[in-house]
Amino acid sequence: MTSPRHLIVTIAGVAMFGLLLGYLVAVLFVFPPHNVAADLRRVPDLVGRTVEEARRRTEREDLALEEALAIHHAQPLGTVVAQEPLAGQMARPGSVLRVTTSLGPPERPVPDVVGLSREQAEMILLQAGFEVEVTRLDASADVGQVVGVRPAPGTPVVLPGEVRLLVSAGASSVQIPDLAMQSVTEAEATLRRLGLRLGEVLEDSASLAAPGTVLGQSPVAGESAARGASVSVTVAVAPLPAVDSTTLPDTGGVEPDTARA
């Protein structure tokens, strides 16, 4: 005959088995566990792709895309240069991937430096971030003056882009300027601006003009000369002091050598 205590233990064991069996049925069939890992998405590598390619790729992975823009010297416009989270990490569906898209390298319009000297134009362009090349050509403008720019002023150029200065080397033939009444220094500067050189400087002590003033020139003003030709000038100088006749001995009209004889 089974004792009451043994009967209670048996009933309790059956009850526990029933509860365990019910739990297993509920867990496995009624309320199966949610597989979190199965829902995660591996973040794709978007760096180097266009933003359109990146958007299509994230949509396939059920992820969202958020875009920021930044200037980039190496990557062209519209290229993804950075992302967060990084490629290979896991993310839940609908998670936001933040990407930085290149606006391309910086660009600036070419400044208008026509009419300036070569030195002034070069300084402006270099300070703006451009590289400068110089081409000399025959032109009627003063020697060293900028007569053109390539690309044209106002054209956008990606930095550090090249800008070419067209600089006047003077005309192949120039008209001789009128140097009269200029100082030698002024005359030399005038000739240099036209691509000419100062040649021989002659002196004239008979003129009443201020010493150092140009009285004449050769070739004369208005003639044509090849660039690099020289122009000679005649310059006023102070007259020599007059000889004092009272210092000479009185020889009675006889030559000094004859008088001594």
Q: Which amino acid is at 24?
A: L
Domain ranges of the chain: 36-102, 107-168, 173-236
pLDDT (0 to 100) of residue 99: 96
Q: What is the mean pLDDT of the chain?
A: 86
Residues 261 and 259: their CA atoms lie apart, in Å, by: 5
Q: How confident is the model at residue 261 (pLDDT cuts 50, 70, 90)?
A: very low
Q: What is the percentage of the chain residues whose pLDDT exceeds 70?
A: 81
pLDDT confidence tier of residue 248, bands split at 50, 70 and 90: low
Please, what CATH class does the domain formed by 173-236 belong to? alpha beta
17-41: average pLDDT: 63
Residue range 36-102, CATH number: 3.30.10.20
Token pair for residue 126? 């270099």
**Range 219-243 average pLDDT:** 89
- Section 197-224 average pLDDT: 94
Fold of 107-168: Trypsin Inhibitor V; Chain A (3.30.10)
Asked if the domains at 36-102 and 173-236 fall in one CATH topology, the answer is yes
pLDDT of residue 30: 55
Lowest mean pLDDT among 43-52, 160-169, 242-251: 242-251
Distance, CA of 190 to CA of 214 (rounded, Å): 13
